[in-house]
Amino acid sequence: MSDYFKYTVAEDGVCTLTIDQPNSATNVMNQEFLDGFRAALECALADDQVKGVILTSAKSSFVAGADLKSMEATLFGKPAAKTLYEQCWGFSSLLRRMETGGKPVVAALNGPALGGGFEIALASHYRIAADVRGMVVGLPEVGVGLLPGAGGTQRYLRMIGVAKALPLLLQGTQLKPDKALELGLVNEVVQADDLLPAARRWLLGSPDPVKPWDKKGFQVPGGSNPMLPNLAQLFMGTAANLQANTYHNLPAPLAITSCLYEGMQLPIDKALQVECKYFVKLNLDPVAGNMVRTIFINKGEADKLVRRPAGVAKRVHQKIGVLGAGLMGAGVAFVAAQCGIEVILIDRDQTAADKGKAYSEARLRKDLERGRIKPEKIDAILARIHPTTDYSGLSDVSLVVEAVFEDRGVKAEVFAKAEAVMPADAVLASNTSALPISGLAETTRRPANVVGLHFFSPVERMPLVEVIRGRQTCDAALAHALDFVAQLKKTPILVNDSRGFFTSRFIGAFINEGVTMVKEGIDPALIENAARMTGYPVGALTISDEIGLDLAYKGAQQQAQDLGKDNKPGSSVDVMATMVATHGRHGRKNGKGFYEYDADGSKRLWPGLGDIWPRRPAAEQPNVQEVKHRMLYAQFADAARCIADGVLIDPADGDIGGCFGVGFPIYLGGPFAAMDTIGIAAVVAECDRLAARYDAERFAVPNLLREMAAEGKTFYGPKRIVPPARQAMRVS
């Protein structure tokens, strides 16, 4: 029997199976787990002394779900559909065996039970959840392009009915114990020290080991005939909502809906087979693989600081400085204070500094109103933020984040004031979104200690930080900057220095193409809707208004000043100049941009766009596919150049940055995962077509991509390339 399961039988006939995966902080499901589970279960079912079984865990959670390494092999190893079905059915049939084995099984959930872990619990005859911090249950598989494949959809359906099950499955809802109890997905919620006694009491109370759906006359709650008016309306509305919200870019929601629609009309065993077939179909779809790789595998490695330089002692930051108490600076101060770090928040006058602290207070008061925080915790967080105009408070900080205007002169001024009092080994980090870090470092006396920490707005909600290594940045400064990001519980990506780094130039390619199409007379509504249909959360014109047309205009002016005769303005720069300088349209901030904004928050595209850039006749408008390709492939080309030029060290950083930083369609997994899926040769061919038709520079692909196409290389997998930046690291 596997070491994963500790098997004990007490004198009263209660068998306890304790899940305890060796050499792991959590229990994860792989083939060894399933083999051990099967052996332990069969032993209990065959043992005449055993009256019932308690399933519990020795870890802080119950079962964390599938093992990522085994999942990666399944999703990217291209196994045969039959093999996948046999693997899926092996788990599903095992749970069915437990369900119909004739002995009662109670799941004693001592910690979070999600995905396959909760499917095990659902197949048990009774579920008791411990009321502990962080306790949640649910089936979140839709979030990575999959569905529960071991009976989750069918047991939800039979326990709570389709009307309640469908939204939970489509949203991947994670339920707190009280809500799960209210829905009937758990049977009891008890204090942690009463969990096993409660499970034992239930087993010794002569429970019925037959599930309701295995008894004659069972009816699905709410009905099982999809032609009933209420159910027909539910499925029609769901289909319409899926189209409106996902444009069917995500196959999992539709598969989940189909599982319930078909399963409600079938006996449980047949329904489980249908579910398993849909699970296999999703596993073979590249969407699931790309989402799992980026959301779990790549992000998981980034969270573990996979890019952190080796040999540098970890630094725990106790006190930092933030220069600039505007939206970004206030956000950094707030997040740092929440994580227990003292913050010296500096601005040019006390009123501005106090306003920065007030941002944190306002955010915390909202949390208090929603019951998410206690008053005493608010006081402790706010006490860590010290608004001031005095730089002397930086004398004992370990890191300073600069978050002032995107102006070299202003940044140089605050750098000089800060480093005059900072400790010699403290890190000086700039939150610039585009200005090269190496150039900013040249204005300081400590270029080796200067890094870029590009946060995204709003800081407290956005999970990503782009960490930029300048030409002179030393390993210690980089490591300590990454340590800071980890303390904030953010995900870092590491890039080398360049204008715009990765994320700003990557989203810039999308915005530039969308705005350029306005200049060409393409219908702005078509541009915006095509972006949504591709999977972007909003269109290029909306993003431009949110960021601020004036900021884009000033950024273009700064670039022209920096580069002089070498400057090559983007094709949308003249549009931004016209909007800002001629018409005073700065975006949402002044209620006038590509959209017009009302006081109540409603908006509409500005009719004046057609007066400045006459719209083509309807017959000359491009089709949706062409508009989608222009935006998407402009980003592909730029991402490929970032790899070829050594800006990106690894494609994983680009995929994480694209999806978590600037809204690249998550179902594609990021630009590099998407290019692999489409095929590198096909990407090159389409970029060449677009370059010939529209602009040779915007769609130009680097030689690296052409070589990859010729040699059958990819960004991931066994034929993956070694990026130039990684090769350079090996040499140096």
Q: How far is CA 161 from CA 139, 181, 213, 253, in A?
A: 16, 15, 12, 17
Could you give the CA distance from residue 284 to residue 272 in angstroms, rounded to a whole number? 19
- Give the integer Cα–Cα distance in Å for 596 and 577: 18
Bridge partners for 483 per DSSP: none
HEC profile for 304-354? CCCCCCCCCCCCCCCEEEEECCCHHHHHHHHHHHHCCCEEEEECCCHHHHH
CA-wise closest residue to 2 among 14, 24, 11: 24
Residue with tokens 């006038």: 592
Q: Phi/psi of residue 164, each to 5°?
A: -90, -35
Q: Residue 354 has which token pair?
A: 């106090």
- Residues across the chain: 732
Tell me which H or E stretch contains 39.
Answer: helix 31-46
Q: Select which of 99, 141, 275, 342 is catalytic.
A: 141
How far is residue 403's CA from residue 396's CA, in Å, rounded to a whole number? 20
Q: How far apart are CA 578 and CA 563, in angstroms?
A: 22
Give yes or no for a contact between 108 and 196, defined as CB atoms under 8 angstroms apart.
yes
Q: How far apart are CA 550 and CA 584, in angstroms?
A: 9
Question: Strand locations in 474-602, DSSP E?
Answer: 491-496, 595-597
Q: Angle at the Cα of 490 (from 488 to 496), degrees rounded to 5?
A: 115
Q: Respond yes or no: is residue 119 known to be catalytic.
A: yes
Cα angle 708, 709, 711 (rounded to 5 degrees) comes to 65
Catalytic-role residue among 11, 42, 99, 119: 119
The residue written with tokens 């040999």 in the block is 311
- Tokens found for residue 602: 């409603």
Helix (H) or strand (E) run with residue 153 in it: helix 152-160
SS3 18: strand
Q: How far apart are CA 507 and CA 495, in angstroms?
A: 15
Closest to 300 measured CA to CA, from 656, 725, 715, 723: 656
How many CB atoms sit inside 10 A of residue 10's CB?
Answer: 13
Longest CA pairwise span in the chain (Å): 88
Which residues are known to be catalytic?
119, 141
